[in-house]
Copies of this chain bind each other. A is one copy, B any other.
Amino acid sequence: MKRVKLTIAYDGTNYCGWQIQPNGITIEEVVNKALRKLTGENITVIGASRTDSGVHAMGNVAVFDTETTIPPERIAMAVNRILPEDIVVVKSEEVALDFHPRYCDCEKTYEYHIVNTRTLIPTKRLTNYFVSYELDIEKMRKGAAYLLGEHDFASFCNIKTDVENTVRTVKELEILKNNEEITIRISGNGFLYNMVRIIVGTLIRVGRGFYQPEQVKEILEAKNRKIAGVTAPPHGLMLMEIRYN
């Protein structure tokens, strides 16, 4: 038996997120079906990140155990022939049998993509959040700086989570601007439920001038979800990479 790690890219538009659920088709389900067809085994993958409905990925990770004779590194190409066009296995490789994609020392990187224009660009509507109000990038950067490092991110976690420890470490939080495109890039050793999207929603409020940059520090210290900004919509979010140490 081998454990195989898959690095998976997808367009989340047509899926109810990663995790199998009764009310709609999910990425996990489609990947399982394709692997079952490929191997003839009753495979169920274990995913690293349960991305929400509409969220995209360049590099989510999933593992599964198999007796297949297909070499692990060839599985990507073989399963891509079965998968629909909006899900692509970027890489497949053998890992140790005790490798678990969630209970592992890892660092995740997300990007949130904003287009700051008055008029929506149709071809970018499913992968970018369009903000028509002018955003002050320098203020957003000042506000973002307060979030770097280890903090209790309780203010940036939606209530429905069952996590008890809300302390996380944000290792990188960059705001890049390329003409009207703004990318918020954030890396850390773990994120609470909706944490990236609440951080983005809060920084957008800073950019619009509703909050002063210094208020981000107050919001963090309040440990109260109600005073942070709204959760930014899912379709601007992309899970870029998960690095295992």
List the interface of chain A (C-beta within 8 A of B).
9-11, 56, 58, 85-88, 90, 119-123, 125-127, 238
Residues of chain B with a CB closer than 8 A to A127's CB: 123
Copies in the complex: 2
* Nearest residue, chain B, Cβ from A117: B90
* Nearest residue, chain B, Cβ from A7: B119
Q: Which residue of B11, B88, B119 contacts A88 across the interface (Cβ within 8 Å)?
A: B119
Contact between A9 and B85, CB atoms less than 8 A apart: no
* Nearest residue, chain B, Cβ from A85: B125
| CA gap between A123 and B111 in the complex, in Å | 13
Question: Of A9, A90, A119, A120, which is in contact with the most chain B CB atoms at under 10 Å from its CB?
Answer: A119
Q: Which residue of B87, B90, B122 contacts A9 across the interface (Cβ within 8 Å)?
A: B122
Contact between B123 and A88, CB atoms less than 8 A apart: no
* Nearest residue, chain B, Cβ from A235: B123
